[in-house]
Structure 1
Amino acid sequence: MSAREVIVAGETLLLLAQKALYWPREKMLVIADIHFGKAASFRAQGVPVPRGTTTQNLAELDALMIEHEVAHIMFLGDFLHARAAHAVATVAAMLAWRLRHPALKLTLVRGNHDRHAGDPAASLAIEMVDEPHVIGPFAFCHHPDIETGGYALAGHIHPSYLLATRFDALRLPCFVVGPSRMILPSFGAFTGGFLITPAPGDAIYVSSGEAVHFVR
């Protein structure tokens, strides 16, 4: 299934195959670690990496907004990868996307990369907040290990999980759903993943890109 419904802190949430979270009651899309400008940052250092990751990220946001009614996007940190993400072409692409969605509310919980990269351009009209940012029962964070006043929704880790048999293994991005916090997979193209070991009480849901599967 392309989405998996979970009940967390008394609220129904959808884990989406596109590595995002949707909160239907608030019409909110939650995105972790989009890392705009990461490829541009590598190219600025002379590393030959693919172009078009910003366009790909924006297209995937558009696709999610077609599939779900979205009034608010909450970014859980690391919106920009580095200062090189302020490159003219990157900012122009983001601004063109923003102008197509003028009524959409955007909020960014600052992450560690955002503090180095600096805030996004003011023309993007993004509300900037620090963690934990509390709405209802949820504390929106970048780091999953900070003290919060609610159930934490966080990123930072870029979690992935290894599915293995005797003959093969497959590493997939995952949602880590614990008793007091959920860690979302990184949304951005060209961001990689960190192989996690679940803690006691953690449920793991992997995304194949087309479906979300409960694995433990």
Structure 2
Amino acid sequence: MTITSHGEELILDKERALFLPQHKLLAISDLHLGKSAHFRQAGVQVPATIAESDLHRLTILIEKYNPATLLINGDMFHHGLNTDIDEFALWRKKYHELNLLLVKGNHDRLSPADYSALNIDIHEPSFCLGPFCFIHDAPQCTEEELYPISGHIHPGVSIVGKAKQRLKFPCFYFGEEYAVLPAFSLFTGLYNIYPKKSERIFAVTPKNVVEV
């Protein structure tokens, strides 16, 4: 789905990604690589294919939009180094020419040397481009004229179906003061958003993105 925000065209993709055509920038939030491996190390039976699936979806997005820059808006990594991070390192070599930026989130705790080895450019606490300011948590920006785009809360919305069943989907939130991206990883929970009349919510369904 294509929308206009603050004078710029934005593409909301059903793979839980935001593309800014004018800047050739693909943005996602809350990738949480390493989360499944971290749970397995703790003895929790979590499928080993979660990171592989998320990276496959990311590959599809890169092939689709051919961005010059990939921006991870916080919580790229869930914990320390583990087998999921090793899998990402192999993926990164395939796209070594892609400019990869990370706005650090509360789970991003690797050492500067680790980020450098993965060819990741760190921005803290935010990365600003055009009329937007990407920041992981606390959607506020020191440059007041910019519109913050955050992540962190894993926004979701409930929709009542024709059979009166209640379905819950990830969503993009665009309020008057800030926006929130959906969590990219499939291995995350959802925090329900209850929009006001002046706010826009876009549900991410299995087939497309729809405004609700």
Gaps of at least 5 residues in structure 2 are none
- The aligned residue for residue 100 of structure 2 is 106
Contact 2:115 2:121 in 1 (8 A): no
**What is the CA deviation profile of residues 161-202 of structure 1, one whole-angstrom value per residue up to 9, with x for unaligned ones?**
000257211000000011231101000121121112224521
Paired position in structure 1 for 2:31: 34
**Runs ≥4 in structure 1, deviation > 3 angstroms?**
117-121
5 Å-filtered alignment, 1:1-216, equals 4-83=1-80, 86-87=81-82, 89-115=83-109, 118=111, 120-149=114-143, 150-165=146-161, 167-215=164-212
How much is the aligned-residue C-alpha RMSD, in angstroms? 1.6
Instruction: Measure how far apart 1:61 and its partner are.
Output: 0.8
* Structure 1 range deviating more: 89-98 or 203-212: 89-98
Q: Distance in 1 between matches of 2:88 and 2:8?
A: 31
CA distance in 2, matches of 1:173, 1:25: 25
- Once residues 164 and 149 of structure 2 are traced to their aligned partners in structure 1, the CA distance between those partners, rounded to angstroms, is 35
Q: SS where residue 67 of structure 1 aligns? A: helix
Shift, 1:53, TM fit: 1.4
Instruction: Tell whether the 8 Å contact from 2:133 to 2:141 is kept in structure 1 after alignment.
Output: no
Q: TM-score, normalised by structure 1?
A: 0.90
Where 1:91 maps in the other structure, the secondary structure is: helix
Distance in structure 2 (CA, Å) of the matches to 1:144 and 1:169:
30
1:23-76 residue CA offsets vs partner (Å, 9 max, x unmatched): 001111001000001111111111111111111111111101121121100000
* Matched pairs, number: 208
**Which of the pair is proportionally richer in helix?**
1
Q: Secondary structure at the match of 1:198?
A: coil
CA distance in 2, matches of 1:19, 1:183: 11
Deviation (angstroms), 1:129: 0.8
Percent identity reads: 33
Unmatched 5+ stretches in structure 1 = none
| 1:77-130 alpha-carbon deviations (Å, 9 max, x no partner) | 0011112xx11x223211111111121000000011114x55554221000111
Which amino acid is the alignment partner of residue 88 of structure 2?
A: M
CA distance in 2: counterparts of 1:141 and 1:192, whole angstroms = 20
Distance change (3 Å), C-alpha of 1:201 and 1:131:
farther
TM score, norm. by length of structure 2: 0.92
